[in-house]
Amino acid sequence: MMGPKINSRRVLVVARRVVRQLKRDRRTIGLITLAPVFLMILFGYALSGEMAGINLGVVDLGGQDALRDHLATVDDFDLLRLGSESDAERLIVEGRLHGAVVIRGEEVRVLLDGSSPQITASIMTEVKNGLLPLKGLQNGGRMDVGGELEDVEGGWLGGDGIVGGSSGPGGLGSDGDIGICAALGGYGGPGAAPEVVQRYIRGYDLEMMDSVGPAVLGLVVFFFTFITAAISFLRERTQGSLEKFMVSPLSRPEMVAGYLLGFSLFALLQSATTLLVVVLAFGVPMEGSPLTAFGVILLLGAGGLVLGAFLSNFAKTEFQVVQFIPIVILPQVVLSGVWWPLESIPAFLQPISYALPLTYSSDALRAVMLKGAGISEILVPDLLFLVGFFVLAFGAATLMLKREVG
């Protein structure tokens, strides 16, 4: 019915109204900006935070008094003094210890049950802290949590052998029982530096937050734009303004585009805050360009918005919008490789995975943030799919508005 021409003035009128409305709705602004930050902090601590009640064995064969004393002061640790490394190993295998520290002169060996990244991180952090005072803090003070995690992960992720404390690109850790050695570098005292060797007794390890963080970032932004857009469009319908638009010069694409523009302001804010939390507070690497990551998140957010606009047609009340969460959001949480690799998803479910936008945003964000990929490297298939998804959902949203007439 409407011509395809889009009048940018009218788009701006709608966008301005959306911004004005949201500006006044403090709770929704809170939901849009602070809730993702809060969620990311929760995820961050849950996935990489320190743990209480860690059973740690200590095999003290002399030396490194400061480390031994420090470990005794850590509230989270329940220490068990052991006579030999093999005892410690046995107890770890039996699952009675989360890890053990073997101190032998200048050598510190850390035995780890690598199945829990949080515990691994916690133990490694404290071992490092215990060694710090000795080394005279040549780096100028205690390192922040993020820095420590990066150091540790540099060691784990860098592959075999002894690696200095620089942070390395993401990837899986070593496989199986073969221990990797990591010397803590960066503290610099020549000759005097105790060598810290990590040894995984079982399982392998990866810094979960590093791998999950970029993907969760997309999930959180998608979720909030989807929900807010679906409810906003539902309101347009229930309060009668949609019908009024139909009898006005405002065309359907103009309306959806106006919403997109108005919301993008808040999506920008949301993406920026969430991205900052993930990178700064939790030390998830940002190897590639933050702008590229930003672009991926915004593209996904735009897709979430138009999908929300489209699906709002199938809801009569806000209550019914909430019912979309298990239908639209949960499958993406489970099937799009946010938490575990796509390869581990059963083959008969994989086609669904490859139809979900979050699969592609997770892949793209990991590539950009962990591997430093540029736009050209994530163009196919990630960006193409996300753009395609957006265009499709945009078209569906405007067509559904048209179907209102009947």
Partner 1 sequence: MKGEEFPAADPSQDYSIVARGLLKSFGKLKALNDLSVRMPRGTTYCLLGPNGSGKTTFIRAVAGLLRLDGGDLSVLGEPVHSVNRVYPRIGYMTQHKALYPDLTLRENMEFYAGLYGIEGWERDERISELLEMVDLADHIDRITGALSGGMYQRLSLACTLIHDPDLLLLDEPTVGVDPILREAFWRFFDGLAERGATILITTHLMDEAERCKIVGYMRAGRMLAEGSPEDLKRLAGLRPILRLWVKDPQASASSLAADGLEVEVVGGVLQVRIEEHGRLKEILEGVEPSDLRLVEPSLADAFLRLSEGGSR
Residues in contact with partner 1 by the rule CB under 8 A: 1-2, 9-10, 12-13, 16-17, 20-21, 24-25, 238-241, 243-250, 404-406
Judged by CB, which is closer to partner 1: 258, or 337? 258
Least Å from the CB of residue 129 to partner 1? 50
CA 212 – CA 132 distance, rounded (Å): 30
Least Å from the CB of residue 29 to partner 1? 12
Any bridge partners for residue 100, and if so which?
57, 111
Least Å from the CB of residue 309 to partner 1? 17
Mode of pairing for the β-strands spanning 54-60 and 107-113? unpaired
Judged by CB, which is closer to partner 1: 96, or 244? 244
Measured torsion, CA atoms of residues 246, 252, 258, 259, in degrees rounded to the nearest 10: 90
Judged by CB, which is closer to partner 1: 237, or 371? 237
**From start to end of 172-256, where are the E strands?**
195-202
CA 76 – CA 54 distance, rounded (Å): 6
Judged by CB, which is closer to partner 1: 24, or 81? 24
Least Å from the CB of residue 307 to partner 1? 23
Q: Round to the nearest angstrom and report the end-to-end CA distance of the chain.
A: 13
CA 7 – CA 349 distance, rounded (Å): 43
Least Å from the CB of residue 265 to partner 1? 16
CA 124 – CA 342 distance, rounded (Å): 30
Judged by CB, which is closer to partner 1: 102, or 229? 229
Q: Exposed, middle or buried by CB within 10 Å (0-12, 13-18, 19+), for 160?
A: exposed
Judged by CB, which is closer to partner 1: 28, or 64? 28
**From start to end of 2-149, where are the E strands?**
54-60, 77-82, 99-104, 107-113
Helices and strands counted in the chain (H then E): 18, 5
CA 104 – CA 237 distance, rounded (Å): 73
Judged by CB, which is closer to partner 1: 153, or 236? 236
Preceding peptide of 381 cis, ω within 30°: yes
Least Å from the CB of residue 7 to partner 1? 8
Least Å from the CB of residue 237 to partner 1? 9
